[in-house]
Chain A
Amino acid sequence: MKAIVAERLTKIYSGEKKALDNASFELSQGEVFGFLGPNGAGKTTAVKLLNGMISPSEGSCHVFGIDPSSSPEKVHAISGVVTEHAQMYGNLTGQENLVFYGTLFGIPKEESLKRALALLERLDLTVAKDKKLTTYSTGMRQRLSLARAMIHTPKILFLDEPTSGLDPESAQSVNNMIKELASDKGTTVFLCTHQLRYAQEVCSSYGLIDDGTLLAVGSLDALRCRIFSGLKVHIKSNRFPEGISFRKTEGQWAEINVQTEDEIPPIVKRIVDAGGNVYEVMANRLSLEEIYFSLIEKRKEQKEVR
């Protein structure tokens, strides 16, 4: 069964503006889906629709076959949600908070406590477990929210910018945890984020959204195909022979696009044969960041034409 199926999902809050416009996508179980887009693109709106917090204006969505707008509580039973608006109780300690949310999900108290302690350990909050939440820093709260979302071992996690307030080390460990959850437990993750580098490390597929419109969906390779699927080769040399279309960048660097790796050695050989010294060669495929920017750029151009 598909983890998420969205069909022509549309949300109009009030008036004309579409926060989400005809978005269709599917997620398989165990996938980590990076939902990327600028501010106000409609990411949080999609999370709310998928959890039944708001109802679609048109279209429909299903989470593990359940329609969130008709039985949201059934979706909630199998999903864990982290958003910036979903806070916990300041007058309770970290541990008390987790145990409360555990029991709220129908887990017996002793079992809740056991899971809470394990999650606190995993998210590096053990030292702060008996401190009131009001004394937590932003990053600590965020990590506790993650623990809260996982207390009932959900089949699917909705994470709306879970690492935005975290230091690089914590962000790294949260990302590793997300990867582990997906690979070991088969948890599906719907991850909204602006941190494209982290997203590229964690996600198995992506959805790019701008201004309510889904621009592209698919794996990194699939997205690359829409821009340029080959390699960008950066070469540092004191001499570049004529006849090959190098683009000079800065200093002794130049770049050239190729389709496959096999094209690189002949190029280097040509430089050396022409009497050049090759100091460095780097070959990269388009990064998620580059793909993101060129897709958003393309969209802007299209809008201006219209």
Chain B
Amino acid sequence: MPEHTPADHRTMIEISRVTRSYGAFKALDDASLTIREGEFFSLLGPSGCGKTTLLRMIAGFDNPTSGTIAVDGQPMDGIPANRRPTNMVFQSYAIFPHLNVEQNVAYGLKRLRLGAAEEKRRVEEALAQVSLTGLGKRGATELSGGQRQRVALARALVMRPKVLLLDEPLSALDKKLREQMQVELRRLQQAVGITFILVTHDQYEALAMSDRIAVMFGGRIAQVASPKEIYQRPVNRQVADFLGGMNFVKAEIVEENGASLVVDTLGFGRVRTDKPAAFVRNGKAATLGIRPERLRVLWDDAKAKFEVAGRVVERHYFGEITHLIVEIPGLENPLSVTETNDFGADDIPVGAPIRLAYDPDALVAMAD
């Protein structure tokens, strides 16, 4: 676990065995999850995997068919959305069109009867947090997409919730603004210390912002771990594939003990790797994965302790990197390799013989 994970903090959200069925179809299937106080947690998965369903049940807009959700130790069964200590930033932002920015942000405060001065102070503070100072009198219909997103954020933050829920808050923004907002959102979360739960289908967004990520497929949670762990040690091929390119190599288990695995492969020979925590043996067959950037081109006479040799069959140029497709004798699929262009990978001719160095630690074993 990386050190910035607030691992020592107490549990903020406890999701136990939650299922949400629509008739025979399970939008969410027996999901269990613990989210810690002050954590930036992401729900990552392809469209339709049940991310929004889970988020809406935490917010109280929907109820589990079975299972329970507890927020800060309190079971949420039967508690409606307006009495939960959570606030949401909607995918559509849901800015009240008949109110101006200030009135939007103050909407939830009105019920708290703080007094005009205190209310104004909190609104100003929230607007400052999202860099909207001075736009308080703007009409809701006179805002850009990025500004709307900030108003939605301020309106939720001003309530000082225990948990802030964000449903794809950045997906409507263009690429540049989105990247800028990722940084800002992460900074804001660290400043206010509130637990954030972010729903996204963008793996880079999840990797860049989160303390921990839950990867979901078809209503099930496949893996919960830190971004690094998820990227480097995916529990199965589906997770590996969803988080960027991965080469898969057929392997056969020859030895398995507490912490390590020894497998035989055709291209990489006999390899000893760490056994992932979630590894469940399924016969003798297994799969080894290696990320394209963990294979390095060996130039001229350079030697490496671990290397494979093959032939370049395709080359794709991407500016700062080059993407090579390399055939290795014995492997049924060619390997993808990404190499930076500082040494001239963009000039390697197609058809040339090539040697690739790798680190056995970069080989991750997955149950088949």
Please determine whether chains A and B interact with each other in the same assembly.
no
Residues of A at the B interface (CB closer than 8 Å) are none
